[in-house]
Amino acid sequence: MTARITTRRQFLTLVSGALVAGGAAAQLEPNIQALRAAALEAAIRKITGGKPVRAGKVKLQVPPLVDNGNTVPLSVSVQSPMTAADHVAAIHVLTEKNPQPYVVSAYLGPRAGRASITTRARIADTGKVIAIAQLSDGSFWSDTVAVVVTLSACLEDGLI
Amino acid sequence: MARVVVNVPASAKRGEVIEIRTLAGHAMETGFRRTQTGELIPRDIITLLVCTYNGVEVFRAELHPAMAANPLISFTTVATESGTLEFKWTGDNGYAATQSASITVV
Amino acid sequence: MSPETRAMQDDEATGPAVFWLLDGEALWKRKEGPAGAACASCHGAGSMKGVAVRYPKIASGRVVNLEQQINVCRTERQKAPPWAYESRELLAVTAYVARESRGMPIRIEWNEATAPFLKAGREAFNRRQGQLNLSCAQCHDDNWGKRLAGSVIPQAHPTGYPIYRLEWEALGSLERRLRNCMVGVRAEPTTYGAQELVELELFLMWRARGMRLETPAVRP
């Protein structure tokens, strides 16, 4: 939804038939992009306390090309026996380009049986979605998916 | 009017991992949108979902503005014993909603 | 639409339209007006099956859509005030009624009664309009399957209205969607409930005849 603010002026060009690659049309102003990248990094650091995050164990499923950025189905599953001694304590989902980086933080434990959550997110702009799992041994694992978000062709412009 | 829906199997075998689906009716106003005249629309979202199973917390989720409207959250839990699962949502501006579901574990 | 969007539509228990269906069911049973009559007082269980696939219909020389018929019942039978177009109540009850026909083929016929309205609707479908000077047919007959700004142009069969549109993050009617298209081509959107708009709805439903109703659908 917030992508509309930056790209509405692109609308007439798009309708005239010019094909514009999703990424190029939705490019954020460089300063805003830098601020959001910094916010994402800060959010990850807050989650991990500065500990390293390794790619693996986590599977983030989100469509690579979304129908609409307002409602993007996503699910995260983590390989884990989910026992008292070895389980997933939390799953965090973040985005690279949203105005604030957090989507959801889910707190699990051995009673979950499986480390798996499904939800629907808002993804404002083409970029990465990141899932970070915190294990009971204090380690952090992640998976990242690059998602392309396009705008609806015809918008109401506030006129319902 | 209707505000929350939970989908919990009515019965399960002891030790079985069951899937729970929850849905809350809420616009999840992000706090980043503006009116036609440029004013910021204040944030109004659900911030927390907690699920307890016979009084013991088995799941908790912190929601942020990047959650879609009418937030769906599905998760799993082990069917340990018969009883009640309680779900509680809380959010901005005093939002609160609860729902419960019974399960028979054989 | 993508498989993920389709999965949301097929998920009846926790699909995003479920709150409107629950509200619709509650409103269907709610006693209204001086006589304390609910929709359910006249319309028994299962009586709405097969109704929505025959709408819009011709009545007293006019074409009437389902929303309008619900309001006719409210004002004439229940003696209650009509619900505003796109109000939560009207959408909820329309969705509840139409849901009863989910899976059934759309049944609009071209016959003596419907012909004048269908001709008008077809003419509207083929007419260029707006600052962009585009007709519905140019996108939805001539260029369906191709992309407009990243979105795939559909054939525009209204098989699932009222729909939960992801863009709206809410349930909305076919008229809202048509007005949305008109704004899209920079045309003055026709007033809710106007005969010209309902004629176009009739034509679109006739054009979709035989296709199965998917209400409440989920669309991008």
Note the pLDDT tens digit of each residue in A107-144: 999 999 999 999 999 999 999 999 999 999 999 999 99
What ipTM goes with this model? Answer: 0.94
- Chain A: list its partners (3+ Cβ pairs within 8 Å): B, C
Whether A150 sits inside 8 A of C151 (CB atoms) is yes
Contacts of C171 in chain B (CB under 8 A): none
Contacts of A122 in chain B (CB under 8 A): 30, 65-68
Can you give the pLDDT at residue A64?
A: 92
Nearest to B69 among C18, C23, C169 (CB): C169
Contacts of B25 in chain A (CB under 8 A): none
Contacts of B50 in chain A (CB under 8 A): none
Residue of B8, B56, B64 to mutate when probing chain A, most A C-beta within 10 A: B64
Asked whether residue C172 is assigned to any structural domain, the reply reads yes
Residue of A154, A157, A159 to mutate when probing chain C, most C C-beta within 10 A: A154
Token reading at A90: 């939390």
Asked whether residue C105 is assigned to any structural domain, the reply reads no
Q: What is the DSSP string of chain C?
A: --HHHHHHHH-TTTSTTHHHHHHHHHHHH--BTTTTB-HHHHS-TTTTTTTGGG-SEEETTEEE-HHHHHHHIIIIIS--PPPPTT-HHHHHHHHHHHHTTTTSBP----STTTHHHHHHHHHHHHS-BTTTTB-HHHHHTTSTTSEETTEEPP----TT-SEEETTTTEEE-HHHHHHHHHHHTT-PPPPTT-HHHHHHHHHHHHHTTTSBP-SSPEE-
State whether residue A5 sits within 8 Å of chain C by CB: no
Last residue of a domain, one of C38, C66, C99: C99
Whether A156 sits inside 8 A of C183 (CB atoms) is yes
Same domain for C65 and C144: no
| Cα nearest neighbour of B27 on chain A | A70
CB pairs under 8 A between B and C: 37
Question: What is the rounded CA–CA span in Å between residue C122 and residue C137?
Answer: 9
Can you give the pLDDT at residue B8?
A: 96
Whether A68 sits inside 8 A of C8 (CB atoms) is no
How many other CB atoms sit within 10 Å of the CB of residue B102? Answer: 11
Total domain count, chain C: 2
Between C93 and C1, residue with greater pLDDT: C93
Q: Find the mean pLDDT for residues A72-79.
A: 96
Asked whether residue C177 is assigned to any structural domain, the reply reads yes
CB neighbour list of residue A101: distance below 8 Å, 6 or more residues apart: A36, A39, A40, A43, A94, A95
Residue showing tokens 């990141």:
A130
Cis ω before A30 (30° cut-off from 0):
no
From the CA of C184, how many Å to the nearest CA of chain A? 5
Tell me which residue of B98, B71, B89, B79 sits closest to B8, measured CA to CA: B79
Say if residue C206's pLDDT is above 80.
Answer: yes
Residue extents of the structural domains in chain B: 4-105
CATH number at residue C47: 1.10.760.10
Same domain for C165 and C119: yes
Between A59 and C33, residue with greater pLDDT: A59
How many other CB atoms sit within 10 Å of the CB of residue A85? Answer: 8
- Chain C: list its partners (3+ Cβ pairs within 8 Å): A, B
Same domain for C73 and C122: no
Tell me which residue of B44, B40, B87, B96 sits closest to B67, measured CA to CA: B44
Helix (H) or strand (E) holding A46: helix A30-48
Q: What are the residue numbers of the active site of C? A: 181
State whether residue A156 sits within 8 Å of chain C by CB: yes
Topology of domain B4-105 in CATH is Immunoglobulin-like (2.60.40)
What are the pLDDT digits (tens) for C166-185? 999 999 999 999 999 999 99
Contacts of C88 in chain B (CB under 8 A): 1
From the CA of A78, how many Å to the nearest CA of chain B? 12
Tell me which residue of C203, C215, C206 sits closest to C107, measured CA to CA: C206
Q: Which residues of chain B have pLDDT under 70?
A: 1-2
Residue ranges with strand state E in A79-137: 88-95, 102-107, 115-121, 127-135
Q: Find the mean pLDDT for residues A32-43.
A: 92
Q: Find the mean pLDDT for residues A5-24.
A: 40
Asked whether residue C36 is assigned to any structural domain, the reply reads yes
- The answer to whether A132 touches A48, Cβ cutoff 8 Å, is yes
Q: Give chain A's mean pLDDT.
A: 84
Can you give the pLDDT at residue A40?
A: 95
Q: How many residues does chain A have?
A: 160
**pLDDT band at residue A152, thresholds of 50, 70 and 90?**
confident
Can you give the pLDDT at residue A50?
A: 93
Contacts of B68 in chain A (CB under 8 A): 70-72, 119-122
Q: Find the mean pLDDT for residues A89-105.
A: 96
Same domain for C121 and C55: no
Same domain for C84 and C119: no
Last residue of a domain, one of C65, C99, C133: C99
Asked whether residue C175 is assigned to any structural domain, the reply reads yes
Q: Give chain C's mean pLDDT.
A: 95
Show the domain range for C157: 115-219
Can you give the pLDDT at residue A8?
A: 45
Residue of B13, B32, B43, B74 to mutate when probing chain A, most A C-beta within 10 A: B32
Residue showing tokens 């929601």:
B63
Domains of chain A: 3-147 (2.60.40.2470)
pTM here? 0.89
Same domain for C154 and C85: no
Same domain for C147 and C83: no
Question: What is the rounded CA–CA span in Å between residue C116 and residue C62?
Answer: 10
Q: Find the mean pLDDT for residues C97-119.
A: 97
Say if residue C24's pLDDT is above 50.
Answer: yes
State whether residue A61 sits within 8 Å of chain C by CB: no
**pLDDT band at residue A17, thresholds of 50, 70 and 90?**
very low
